[in-house]
Each structure stands twice: as C-alpha cells, then as structure tokens.
Chain A
Amino acid sequence: MARLIFVYGTLKQGFRNFHINRGRRVDGDFVTDVPYPLYLVGEFGLPWLVRKPGEGLPVEGQVFEVDDDVLQDMDALERIDQAGYYQRLPLRVKRIGGDAAIDVECYFGSESTFARGPVIAGPLARYELSHQAVYRYSGASNQ
C-alpha cells in the first residue's frame, strides 16, 4: 500500500540518503501546517524534528509516495524499532504557495535523545545541503 511520507532531512532529493528514498516525489515543496522544533543534534548533527507542535518554526520538506518495500528500507534507516532514534508518525503539511493541507507521515526524532543533546544548530526552518557538512556518521542513519 502506498503511503505519503514527508521528509525534511537527508532523505530529501539531493541529500545524502536520497538513494534509500526511491518513492515518487509529489510536485512542489511542502511545509508543516504548524511549527515544529527542528534541530541538528548530537555529535553527528543529525536533523531532528521533535514532535512538539507549536514550538520551533514551520519546517520545509518534500513529500514522497512510497511503496511497502521502500518504506521498509526507510524505516530501517531511521531505526524506528530502536529506542532513542526515530518514530514514523502522522503529520499535516501543505504545499508552499497553496492552501490545502494533506495528511502524511514523518520520522520524528526521540525527545529523550534531543534532551541529551548537544544541540549543534536550531531551531531551523529547513535542513540545507550545507548542514550535511556537520554530518559525519558512517553507520545507518537518520532523516
């Protein structure tokens, strides 16, 4: 079954883990319908969207339609079965320049990991290519 996934970090088109994301991109760029805190955290500067709606800034990203196989690979990358990493949870976003909101899913970072820090940057409105220079992790990773 195809699902709509909002990606805001390294799974975005043009970013280091895009090869894992083999979904079909939905046209345009999207932004969360309310602010969320997006930080670069930990010594590797992982992009970390914390599920605290109303805090932080409206966060920009891309939406992809993915099938079960791709979703399985993305879930594995984000370690959703391990405490302290990411969880795939519902989110509402809207196309930048448009009005209609759509329901998607998104990989939120663990609040406890965020609380441990350190915070490298943020709160941010978007994860940019230049932020990947902070990212030095060589193992399976993150958003």
Chain B
Amino acid sequence: MSLVRKLDADDAPAWRALRWQGLQECPTAFAASFDEEKDRSLEDVATMLRQASGAVFGAWTEGALCSIAHVQREPLRKMAHKAHVWGMYTAPNARRAGLAAQVMRSLMAHARDRMGLEFLTLGVNTQCAAALRLYESVGFVREGIERGFLKIDGVLHDEWHMQCDLRTWPG
C-alpha cells in the first residue's frame, strides 16, 4: 500500500536514509554530494522538516519511505510568492508506479493551498529524460537551459530551468 503525505520531524531518519540513497545512486541529479551530507545530523533534518517556509512530501510503501520531494519558499520578500522544488528522488524498487507524480501533485497542491505560493521553479539535468517527463506531466514547462550548471569529476552538466504557474495550474 502507498500513502502520500507531508513529512514531519518524526520522519527525519527515513528522509535522511532515502536522501543518502539518492545522492549515492544519482550523483548527477543533485547539486549536493553525498560527502557533503553524510554527516548531517537527524536534529538538523528534523529542524528542516519543521520549517514553515518549506514542506517535504513523501510516499510510503509497505511502511518504507520510497519517494520524496521538497518545496522551499524563496526567502526574500519580493520573491516570497515563489518557491523552489528540490530533492525529488524515488527509490529504484518503487519506480514506474506513478508514485513520484503523486508526490509532486500533492506537494504542488499543498504549496498553492497551504503556503499561498504562486509559482514553483525547479532545475533538472538535461540528460535526465525521465525526470523531465515527470515534471512536464505534472504541469512544469521548460524556461531555458543553464550551461554547465554542475561540474562533476571534470564533466560539465547542463540544466533545464522549469516553472509552474500555480495560479492557472489545473491540479
């Protein structure tokens, strides 16, 4: 069985474990590296999960957290109507079941309804075709490419900047 819901501080161990798994399995999909996050404390994660300026949604299958995504409101007052979506990851054994789309749609509805946000942005490696399809399927559109967004082991990676206008998003 799968349940999609907003995570809270009690979910810190499960979120951190899945985050570490993602950073190690898909290093080109994240700006952060495993080495930079491997010492992150559960207290720090719990604090992040409590923040009112953001929200983390996840899908649980058979009691295990298997898909996550984070939305974080922009901190500056003139940009506070927008938020950035980051940290989307689904464990390999939970893929192709539609869970990532469910997590994204629940997260986006929460961002619009509970956080009062008007626009969401995200970035995705141009080589991640599955992720691009996911984001377009839930309502994001491509805005432009940033060349050389990441440099990993000497190799440059380009990134699509994507945006969703929640004011007209059909859900």
Contacts and interface: CB of A to CB of B under 8 A. Distances in A.
B4 interface: yes
Interface of A: 35, 37, 40, 52, 55-58, 119-125, 128, 130-131, 133-134
Contact of A123 (B1, B3, B110): B110
Contact of B2 (A35, A55, A58, A130): A130
B171 interface: yes
Nearest to B4: A121
Contact of B171 (A56, A121, A122): A56
Contacts of A35: 109, 170-171
A65 to B, nearest CB: 27
Given A121-B3, A124-B102, 20 more contacts: A35-B109, A37-B109, A40-B3, A55-B113, A56-B109, A57-B105, A57-B106, A58-B170, A119-B5, A120-B3, A120-B5, A121-B5, A122-B4, A122-B106, A123-B106, A124-B4, A124-B106, A125-B102, A130-B2, A131-B1
A57 B171 contact: yes
B: contact size bracket: 10 to 19
Given A55-B113, A122-B106, A134 B171 contact: no
A134 B109 contact: no
A40 B2 CA distance: 12
Interface string B63-104: 000000000000000000000000000000000000000100
Nearest to A40: B3
Contacts of B110: 123
7 contacts: A55-B113, A56-B113, A57-B106, A58-B170, A120-B5, A124-B4, A133-B1
A37 B113 contact: yes
A55 B109 CA distance: 7
Nearest to B5: A121
B50 interface: no
Nearest to B3: A121
Contacts of A58: 170-171
Nearest to B59: A121
B142 interface: no
B6 interface: yes
Contacts of B1: 130-131, 133-134
A125 B137 CA distance: 14
Contacts of A131: 1, 3
A97 to B, nearest CB: 15
A34 to B, nearest CB: 8
A131 B105 CA distance: 17
